[in-house]
Amino acid sequence: MYFLLSGVWLRPLILIVESKKMPICETVSVLASRLEEQLPNITQSQSKMLGVLKDMPRYREKGDLPAWSTDYKACRNKNEKSDPNYTAIELVYEVGRYNVGTEFDEKGTVRIYRVATFYLAKRNISVPRFLDVSQW
């Protein structure tokens, strides 16, 4: 089974391991921080994208996750779509965006998270791969 995520077809690796509980918003913030530390040559727009991703828990506290998504989209530079950094950042955004404005889908969220972290690991980006994203 393959999944299309940010324009990339991926086959997820499914492993069963003990998970650490961490709500989605905090997970997105942690992943964004790790990308910020490890991605080479981050552009100004990519830095802004990562900043909004890291602030996701604050948007949740305000009860305004749709504004989080809007603010993130405003930071994008569409001319960078072919940049591998842009793709990596978009994968993290997809983890957070998946349930915004809809009913929470735990299985789908876990699937998106695993696919994203698998792809990042293939790029030698060290991120926590087995956090529990079963809640906001």
Residue 15 in any domain: the answer is no
Residue 17 in any domain: the answer is no
The range of the structural domain enclosing residue 98 comes to 22-132
Q: Is the pTM of this model over 0.85?
A: no
Residue 30 in any domain: the answer is yes
CB atoms within 10 A of CB 64: 13
Residue 11 in any domain: the answer is no
Q: pLDDT tens, 12-56?
A: 443 333 334 468 999 999 999 999 999 999 999 999 999 999 999
Residue 77 in any domain: the answer is yes
- Structurally, how many domains does the chain consist of? 1
Q: pLDDT tens, 71-125?
A: 999 999 999 999 999 999 999 999 999 989 888 899 999 999 999 999 999 999 9
Residue 13 in any domain: the answer is no
Residue 5 in any domain: the answer is no
Question: Taking the chain, what is the end-to-end CA distance rounded to the nearest angstrom?
Answer: 27
